[in-house]
């Protein structure tokens, strides 16, 4: 570990003593908000963690004092929280006009480190961590405390006990981090930041739940679905891009999509999300009707927001969610830009890309049939969609030349049993990839598929997502 002087900033002797009580022994880490030290509480003779918060030295003396006072005030509020999955704050002190937060020392690393060293988690482990964090957030929100920077680096895992610990509550606010609209810059973790907070529209408990949805995606796939190469790209992804949870999120997809609803008033709340994840752990899958039936209009088009000092634009395609066999109220479906709504003779409607033509009932193709979108409706299948898709997967080499990379995943759709499959094959000398969802609803069996050349698979997946999100059955 090196000497204390090597790890400090050279302004203090060795060892460094804070508030006459806490001896800083070794630096554990450094983040945008400050330094974290392993320390010894000399009064109680125990090991603790001490976070030294860094203040913005470009501010005036009065602004620095106000920032420090707010930091101490809000840190003391966090110290009042008592929950097994929230870091225990022992003390909040000042030393040389700098705030320090004294916390319990967790014998383990962060979720970010776990993902980096061991790879993504499986769905049951991600669900277990999600349940712990939702329980912690419910306690904090009930006390009027928001986290504001929920991300894998702020979730600690204690291997010996399996304990999940949420740390750094309120730090983004404590250090005075501006919203993007206030300064044109952003302090914090944009790829885990809710759109309404990104634009400065509002910040509430719902914003923390959005962050949890992005965190679950990262835990399952290794990265946030909003990761891009630049801040501008991240902002566009959060505010405007189609939201595409990773395929690894399929087992708990209704939870992830419910948390990543751009409308904070429609977003899944903590109690619902926790209950659904517990159901998943208990049953190994989300049960039918796990998602409350809320069929509503799909909102598309331009939703203008002030994202920077210049301007920004967002377009949100909010997903249909539903359950039960009783149809909800009649609603219309609006097509995203570049799509149009079609009413198929089979009785269903959905959005297809402009330029697609109907070749047969339930079949729509692009020019040259590069892309194909098909919907088949039949009577219910024995064993349900999962068994039916597994049978199709087993026969794949017989029905599709060069069948490969087939993967079948059990899931739900509108709360009904469903199965999802991706696979590649060769058609007329061209490598193609297909995306499928099969489900049973209202006594009927539905098969929705989009196929595309392998080199354009990402576009094919986009067509598939829009078709599925806008599909309305007879």
Report residue 145 as tokens.
């405390």
Report residue 136 as tokens.
């912690």
For residue 15, is the peptide bond before it cis, meaning its omega torsion is within 30 degrees of 0? yes
Cβ atoms of 376 and 446 closer than 8 Å: yes
For residue 413, the surrounding DSSP H or E stretch is strand 404-413
Cβ atoms of 181 and 193 closer than 8 Å: no
How far CA 370 is from CA of 23, 147, 428, in Å, comes to 67, 47, 12
Q: Is 149 a catalytic residue?
A: yes
Point out which residues pair with 125 in neighbouring strands: none
Q: HEC states along 135-164?
A: HHHHHHHHCCCCCCCCCHHHEEEECCCCEE
DSSP string computed for 300-351: -S-EEE--SSS-EEE---PPPB--SSS--S---BPPPTTEEEEE-TTS-EEE
- 8-state DSSP, 110: B
In whole angstroms, what is the distance from residue 12 CA to residue 16 CA?
Answer: 6
Which of these, 232, 394, 202, 409, lies nearest to 308 by C-alpha position? 232
For residue 425, the surrounding DSSP H or E stretch is strand 416-427
Catalytic residue among 91, 149, 208, 465: 149
How far CA 444 is from CA of 10, 378, 382, in Å, comes to 72, 6, 12
- In which residue are the tokens 């595309």 written? 452
How far CA 164 is from CA of 18, 127, 169, 223, 304, in Å, comes to 28, 12, 14, 19, 39
CB atoms within 10 A of CB 277: 26
Any idea which residues carry the catalytic annotation?
149
């Amino acid at each position: 570990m090196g000497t204390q002087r090597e790890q400090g900033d050279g302004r203090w002797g060795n060892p460094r003593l804070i508030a006459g009580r806490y001896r800083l022994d070794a630096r554990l880490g450094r983040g945008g908000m400050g330094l974290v030290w392993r320390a010894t509480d000399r009064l109680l003779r125990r090991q603790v963690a001490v976070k030294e918060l860094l203040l913005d030295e470009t501010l005036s003396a009065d602004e620095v004092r106000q920032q420090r006072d707010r930091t101490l005030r809000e840190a003391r509020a966090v110290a009042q929280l008592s929950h097994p999955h929230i870091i225990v704050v022992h003390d909040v002190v000042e030393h040389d006009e700098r705030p320090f937060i004294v916390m319990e020392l967790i014998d383990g690393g962060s979720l970010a480190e776990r993902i980096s060293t061991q790879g993504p988690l499986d769905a049951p482990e991600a669900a277990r961590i999600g349940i712990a964090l939702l329980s912690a957030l419910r306690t904090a929100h009930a006390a009027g405390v928001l986290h504001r920077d929920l991300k894998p680096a702020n979730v600690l895992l204690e291997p010996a006990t399996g304990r999940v610990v949420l740390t750094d509550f309120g730090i983004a606010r404590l250090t005075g981090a501006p919203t993007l609209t206030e300064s044109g810059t952003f302090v914090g973790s944009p790829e885990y930041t809710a759109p309404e907070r990104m634009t400065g529209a509002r910040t509430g408990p719902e914003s923390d739940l959005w962050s949890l949805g992005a965190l679950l995606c990262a835990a399952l796939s290794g990265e946030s679905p909003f990761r891009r190469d630049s801040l501008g790209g991240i902002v566009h992804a959060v505010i405007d891009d189609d939201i595409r949870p990773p395929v690894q999120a399929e087992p708990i997809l209704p939870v992830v999509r419910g948390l990543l609803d751009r409308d904070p008033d429609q977003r899944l709340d903590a109690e619902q999300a926790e209950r659904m994840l517990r159901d998943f752990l208990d049953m190994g899958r989300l049960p039918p009707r796990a998602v409350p039936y809320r069929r509503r209009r799909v909102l598309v088009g331009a939703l203008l927001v002030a994202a920077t000092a210049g301007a920004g634009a967002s377009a949100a395609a909010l997903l249909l969610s539903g359950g039960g066999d009783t149809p909800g109220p009649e609603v219309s479906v609006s097509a995203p830009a570049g799509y149009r709504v079609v009413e198929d003779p089979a009785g269903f409607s959905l959005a297809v890309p402009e330029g697609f033509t109907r070749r047969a009932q339930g079949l729509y193709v692009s020019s040259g049939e590069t892309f194909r979108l098909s919907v088949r409706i039949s009577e219910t299948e024995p064993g349900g969609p999962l068994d039916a898709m597994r049978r199709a997967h087993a026969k794949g080499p017989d029905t599709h030349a060069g069948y490969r990379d087939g993967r079948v995943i059990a899931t739900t759709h509108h709360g009904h049993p469903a199965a999802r499959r991706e696979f590649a094959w060769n058609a007329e000398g061209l490598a193609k990839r297909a995306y499928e969802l099969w489900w049973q609803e209202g006594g009927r069996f539905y098969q929705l598929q989009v196929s595309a050349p392998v080199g354009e698979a990402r576009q094919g997946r986009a067509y598939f997502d829009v078709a599925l999100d806008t599909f309305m059955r007879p």
